[in-house]
Chains A and B, each alone.
Chain A
Amino acid sequence: MLQSSISGLVSGGVYAAIGVCIVLLYSMVGVLNFAQAAIGVAGAYVTFLLYGEDQPLVLAVLAGVVVAAAVATLTGMAMALWFGEARVEVRSTASIAVLIGILAVGFWVFGDDARATPDVLPASGPEIAGVVIPGTAIGAIVFAVLLAGGVTLLLKRTVVGVRLRAIAQRPRTAELLGIPARRLSVAVWALSGAAACIAILLVAPSRTASVSSLSLLVVPALAAGLIGGFSSLWLTVLGGLLIGLLEGAIVTVEGIAPYRGSISFLVIVLVLLYSQRKEAWDASR
């Protein structure tokens, strides 16, 4: 039980990192981005391609991150252009279209051939309770924590952060005060895309490297974001790690093990029930 829980931490770290990106975008730009993981995957596949062509790993990773940031930037610009005034539901739905688009193109271009995914960090690592913790797992957790910490600092301690918060809370007022709202929100998109790409690169070696399965990592990440109420970055990190641990632990429990893929959904339902516990159902109808 302990062993497989620990092995679940790799995934947990990545759920947390992608979850942080989602929460960041949601609170700053007002989009629940279903394509968050897929945008990272788009960049990660550029890395795989370049690495497969014997390019140096550093270069391949850099190119991947840049491409992911570019895809996110384009998405952000399209969002601002076409859905600038739309409600958050509409914008989030538009992100589903982006997800489906990336899935379709990815499938078409990369198919389902076996490919080697490079280890961004060393595959070997310390042994805890008889489980070798891959460098990527530690990297994923550290990355999630750094990302959450970095974003928190940025928002609280810098002028850019103050402006971002202003845009998030009073978009029109902020714009009237001369804050370049559109440019800043596109920058948030670019940052989230780059971060998602790094997260995907960290998890890819331990997962089936296919466009669809990596893109759908967004589901547990959304569950992590929900635990954080789509506002708290730290709770999101905790939530991601918790889901990873649970997924790992449940493998050893006979009977329910085959249902481990549904844990994210169970978490989503439970959090929703808990957060809505004071709602009178009749009133909210």
Chain B
Amino acid sequence: MRLLSRSTRLLAIPAVAVVLAACGNSAAGGGGGGDTDGPIELGAVSSLSGPVAFADPTGAAQAVFDRVNEDGGINGREINYTVVDDRGDPSAAAQASRQLIDEQDVVANVGSASLVDCSANAATYQRQGLVSVQGLGVDPACFSSPNISPVNTGPFSGYTSLLYFASETLGHDRVCAVILTVPGLTEGYEAAVERWSEITGKEPVFVDTSLTVSDDPTPAVLRAQAEGCQAVTFNSNPPQTVTVMKAAQTQGALETIDWIALTVSYNSEILEAFAANNSWGLYVNSEFEPWSGESEALQDWRTLMEENDIPQGSDSLAGYVAATIMVDVLEGIEGDITRESVTQAFKELEPVETELIGSPYTFGDADSHNPNQASKIVQAQPEGWVTVSEDWQRLPE
């Protein structure tokens, strides 16, 4: 033993510890998501602060899990839900996923709503065999990973459904697409226009990509007027939506053209801006049963949100849908609930029918998932958001 110097012996201790830890881990339950008696660990990586903040999806999911826990948990095991803020920053998102996987030992992610989670973490989730039932998938990576399946439609399929609504439901021949350019997303929107052309065999009058999100939209409005557009679809965040509608109103194009925007503008704050400008009539796609409507399918969600003081809107509905799907899947698992068994359950998941989404939620072992291909269209009117299509509009495959 004297041959071993003091420092060598000291080095040996952590090495033994690592080996022991590794044994312990594998004994607990095959590749993480271990403990089978304690609470079931679920996680989410969400943008809770930063350029765009989504607090409601995970807030709603937490409310669903709290109720499950009050009712005795899942087979007696409580759900412990950890939400980590990524501040809209990819490196913070990567750190957040490591924290969830390594420290919390989560069995799955659910209800995440983030600008960067998918692009930063899709590869990690795949490597670690972790599934994420995304609440709000925003970036393209959310719809192109085998381990992520969002409950929402997302901007690209959403944009296709706007065009589909213009040409098929409103029956317009002259449909114009305005794409406010955002680096990294513009191509996705252009592909969405092509998909619409493939589905309907129709071509847009023009696809305008000359404006960025911060430009004065008047030139696009004038172009739409000059080329005789009957409907204009545009991808805007709520502040830009207000500006586009105002420019349309100033140029007298509010009555002659139907203006159709993505679901992010479907909120109650924007109505105040429309009221101030008196620019009504905007159509927006709702990715879920319209939250502003009267449908009975919304009853449970509405009560739960009221009890927990969570704002009622698409965001909290997305979190609610994701969390209820997760609870159903967890309850259906026979045997231990571990990361492995949860991932397997999702990979073998039969399509889930829910009244809140117009097409079945699927996971399965496909390479990419974008199951929510249905929308109902709502219109901004002085009395509030009005559902104009009672039936789901489903995009054909």
Contacts and interface: CB of A to CB of B under 8 A. Distances in A.
A132 B242 contact: no
Interface residues of A, number: 38
Interface in A93-141: 107, 111-116, 118, 123-124, 130-132, 134
Interface residues of B, number: 43
B313 to A, nearest CB: 13
A113 B238 contact: yes
B141 interface: no
A213 B272 CA distance: 22
B188 to A, nearest CB: 16
Interface in A25-74: none
A7 interface: yes
Given A116-B276, A134-B250, A111 B53 contact: yes
A212 B211 CA distance: 16
B272 A112 contact: no
Interface stretch (A75-83, A158-166, A181-189, A256-264): A256-264
A8 interface: yes
Contacts of A123: 246, 249-250
A131 B218 CA distance: 10
B209 A258 contact: yes
Contacts of A210: 214, 239
Interface stretch (B132-140, B219-227, B290-298): B219-227
A86 to B, nearest CB: 32
A114 B276 CA distance: 12
Contacts of A205: 243, 246
A218 to B, nearest CB: 13
A203 B216 CA distance: 9
A3 interface: yes
B51 interface: yes
Chain B binding surface SS class: helix
A252 B220 CA distance: 9
A206 B223 contact: no
Contacts, number: 107
A1 to B, nearest CB: 10
A213 B226 contact: no
Contacts of B181: 258
A107 B49 CA distance: 11
A111 B240 CA distance: 14
A78 B237 CA distance: 37
A251 B223 contact: yes
A275 interface: no
Contact of B210 (A7, A111, A209, A260): A260
Nearest to B220: A251
Nearest to B264: A114
Contacts of A261: 212, 215
Given A123-B246, A208-B214, A251-B210, A112 B239 contact: yes
Given A116-B277, A207-B243, 13 more contacts: A4-B219, A112-B237, A112-B239, A114-B241, A114-B270, A118-B276, A123-B249, A123-B250, A134-B250, A205-B246, A207-B216, A251-B223, A257-B210
13 contacts: A8-B219, A112-B52, A114-B270, A115-B242, A116-B273, A116-B276, A116-B277, A206-B218, A207-B243, A208-B237, A208-B239, A209-B243, A252-B219
